[in-house]
Amino acid sequence: MTANDFFSNVLATPGNTGNAVGSAVTSANVEKLPGLNTLGVSVSRIDYAPWGVNPPHVHPRATEVIFVLQGSLDVGFVTTANRLYARIVCAGEVFVFPRGLVHYQRNNGGGPAAVLSAFDSQLPGTQPVAEALFGASPPVPTDVLARSFQIDGGLVEAIKSKFPPK
């Protein structure tokens, strides 16, 4: 090991938010920062274009605390009782997303926004809800999704087309 195993500049550069959802997550987890191994923490930055969304997702292995660096965000999570806890969070403020719950953020301002995210895992894992269901490889059967969402198969296929398998 050297000092560089405990160092990263990966968070120094804003992520490219020029994508369909208008946000970018840059992670300093154990894959980028080997010195985190066994330590149970990691950190990310999230950048948002105006009105950009970090789509609903879960972290199976971590609670997340965001600290707003710039801008103003609508944030929320949904409990296992299906209750939404949501509010506005502004620069200098923090908000907690408890482990394993579906959560999201949206930049509610006309300028860029950014947050620092802290996790109690060296590798929190991220599962975006829409991609998990509509972009899995091999695909989740269309009839399963049609019945589950109570919509027709054509609409399921239309949504799947937005999430081509990687």
- The footprint of Mn ion (CB under 5 A) covers 64
Shorter beta-carbon distance to Mn ion: residue 10 or 118: 118
CB of 16 to Mn ion, least distance (A): 18
| Nearest one of 90, 85, 23 to 51, comparing CA atoms | 23
CB of 78 to Mn ion, least distance (A): 13
> What is the number of the residue whose Cβ is closest to Mn ion?
64
87: Cβ contacts below 8 Å, ≥ 6 apart: 74, 75, 76, 95
Shorter beta-carbon distance to Mn ion: residue 101 or 159: 101
Shorter beta-carbon distance to Mn ion: residue 101 or 146: 101
CB of 118 to Mn ion, least distance (A): 11
